Chains A and B, each alone.
Chain A
Amino acid sequence: MSLREARRDAALRLTLEGAWTARLIGDLEPLTLAVDLGGVRSLELDCGAIDTLDLSGAWLIHDLECRANAAGIAVSYDGSRPAIVALVEQTLLSAAGPPVVKPDRGIQPVVALGRGVLDRWQSAQTGLAFLGESALRFAHGFLDPRVWRPISIARHVQETGIHAIPIVALIAFLISVIIAYMGAQQLQQFGADIFVVDLVTVGVLRELGVLLTAIIVAGRSGSAFAAEIGAMRLNQEVDALKATGVEPLEVLVLPRWIGLMIALPLLTVIADAVGVLGGALVCHLLLDMPLVQYFQRVEESIADFTFWAGIVKAPAFALLIAASATYRGLQVRGSSRELGRLTTVAVVQSIFLVILADALFAVLFMEMGI
């Protein structure tokens, strides 16, 4: 029994015993709250039987004292008041200061909306400034080619390009197999098997090859860029660069842009080739089409612009991905949560911009009659 009550008329005596420590506070607090102070005039506390008393226990005793004082009850101790209870009282009284206004977590929706709009506008402005400055830095390279750092660029081509070959090839292969398979099922009904080849070839070369590659790269390299640069910001490495007189845009941002703009088109070529081969496999195994016939049809289905209509989009997608990711990385400040959030934003925004650009290209090509 940690708490025993003894009442006599308007006098209440509480005997506290056992351990009053942090571990037991969960059980002790309800006990103290259950003490009915109604009609009590004086409260006597006996702490003599407590064997362990720590700060949490002392706080609970102090809390009891405060409740009694608030009800106008006189509090006294049988024996001496434990010093640690005095410490709690002293701590809570010291420099109380102005009342603490807890930051309002339940912010009204309207205020949130307004703030959101202003933030977006601010963000758009800084984004534009970032693009401009980076472009200027790049242009500076025509005067002083050292601005373009070939070793750094080569590293990024290796990481975003060469290391991505297996995954890009695999996905391009699987997607073209799926399309060929689905197409074959439908076209077989009309005896139009041969057009599966057209479907795969034109589909992969014009759209799917570049789009899927860009999406994979956005996930892979977009997150990598944002996280790397974001972590450097958290570690003050970016500040250190600036302090050493080295421009972060030159060293961190531009090489990633250029590296990705080189890597993505090359990856697309690989994706295109593997895609066409995937189609060949399905046609050969499923439709019993001789490979010679397949590749002959491929040649027939391609127009002059088919391949280039796909490839020309690649550098544009690369720029969108790299710009978005590096920008988000540089925005990181404060906590690890920000790093996670901005990495996510970087990937999602990259993918969105890529698909948006693809749609715009489609309209453009249609108008141009390509």
Chain B
Amino acid sequence: MTMQPIIEARGIVNRFGTQVVHDGLDLTVHAGEIFGIVGGSGSGKSVLLNTLLGLRRPQAGEVRIRGTDITQLDDAALRSLKTLYGVTFQAGALFSALTVIQNVQLPMLEHLRLSPRVLEELAMLKVRLVGLPPEAAYKYPSQLSGGMVKRAALARALALDPQLLLLDEPTSGLDPISAAAFDELLMGLQRELALTVVMITHDLDSIFRNCNRVGVIVDRKLVAGDLDTIVHHPHPWIQAYFQGDRARRFGAAHGA
């Protein structure tokens, strides 16, 4: 497939004062794949995500989303580009003063002109799509369980029918059953809606179950490859991550 990669980042440098988090980081994500990003605490996973989202301008490097370099865009163009992808944040980040359905409707109200009926029904469709019961739509985030918050966040990410999803630790804080259910949901949606998913995660289960390719942030750069390549990569940190005690149990279970 000679299609242009959906995300292409080259030579990203992220620096906070004297602390260099990323030094010449490259990243490529192809259309239709599920790409996992892994890294130690402090390796700058969230910083990388913010850079890809255009929330943070890197000190150097370029980030191309669908061919457009977002580091060179002005505010208006950047705002319009943001409708092309959906994001979930680590703690859910639902708007606490709005109900679930109002959360989903917010991007719609902001960027589309819809009749009230369409607004209500389309938002409800997204809520149902992520497996939430209809009653949950009218609840406030403080009334939801952790698993429901994550699903609601996903519904909001899908509000504008984006082709690209960026998820920051989508299963963190979920019990194994809920996490597995969320993985199933994500896999199903990715298939049905032909989505590209970039997922920051520590959840080895999610990685082995969902991801086509994995990128590991080590030594301020990204090492990427398909699951098999990465699991057998010689770098000591990657070895420790994927071949350590916990990982080996998973690896054995999944036949990796």
Which A residues lie at the B interface, using CB under 8 A? 21-23, 25-26, 29, 54-56, 59-60, 63, 83-84, 87-88, 91-92, 94-97, 100, 102-103, 333-337
Contact = CB atoms under 8 A, between A and B. Distances in A.
B118 A25 contact: yes
Given A100-B135, A100-B138, A21 B161 contact: yes
Contacts of A91: 125, 128-129
Contacts of A60: 118
Interface of B: 83, 96-97, 108, 112-115, 118, 121-122, 125-126, 128-129, 133-135, 137-138, 140-142, 158, 160-161, 192-193
Contacts of B135: 97, 100
A271 to B, nearest CB: 39
Contacts of B193: 54-55, 84
A54 B161 contact: yes
A29 B125 CA distance: 16
B128 A29 contact: no
Nearest to A83: B192
Contacts of A23: 83, 112, 160
A217 to B, nearest CB: 29
Nearest to B129: A91
Nearest to B135: A100
Contacts of B113: 26
Nearest to A60: B118
A21 to B, nearest CB: 6
A183 B142 CA distance: 56
A29 B115 contact: yes
Given A55-B161, A91-B125, 15 more contacts: A22-B108, A22-B112, A22-B160, A26-B112, A26-B114, A26-B118, A29-B114, A29-B115, A55-B193, A59-B125, A97-B134, A97-B135, A333-B142, A334-B140, A335-B142
Nearest to A54: B161
Question: Interface SS of chain B: helix, strand, loop or mixed?
Answer: helix
Nearest to B126: A55
Q: Which 5 A-B pairs have the closest CB atoms?
A: A335-B96, A337-B97, A26-B113, A54-B161, A22-B161
16 contacts: A22-B112, A23-B160, A25-B114, A26-B115, A29-B115, A29-B118, A55-B158, A59-B121, A59-B125, A84-B192, A88-B125, A96-B134, A97-B134, A102-B138, A335-B96, A335-B140
Contacts of B121: 59, 63
A336 B192 CA distance: 36
Given A26-B113, A29-B118, A54-B193, A92 B140 contact: no
A250 B112 CA distance: 52
B125 A92 contact: yes
Given A83-B192, A100-B138, A55 B96 contact: no
B251 to A, nearest CB: 34
A139 B84 CA distance: 61
A309 B97 CA distance: 46
A333 B141 CA distance: 12
Contacts of A335: 96-97, 140-142
Nearest to B158: A55
Given A22-B160, A335-B97, A100 B134 contact: yes
A337 B96 contact: yes
A341 to B, nearest CB: 10
A354 B244 CA distance: 65
Contacts of B137: 100
B122 A25 contact: yes
B247 to A, nearest CB: 32
A60 B112 CA distance: 15
Nearest to B124: A92
A2 to B, nearest CB: 15
B160 A92 contact: no
B118 A94 contact: no
Contacts of A337: 96-97
A95 B133 contact: yes
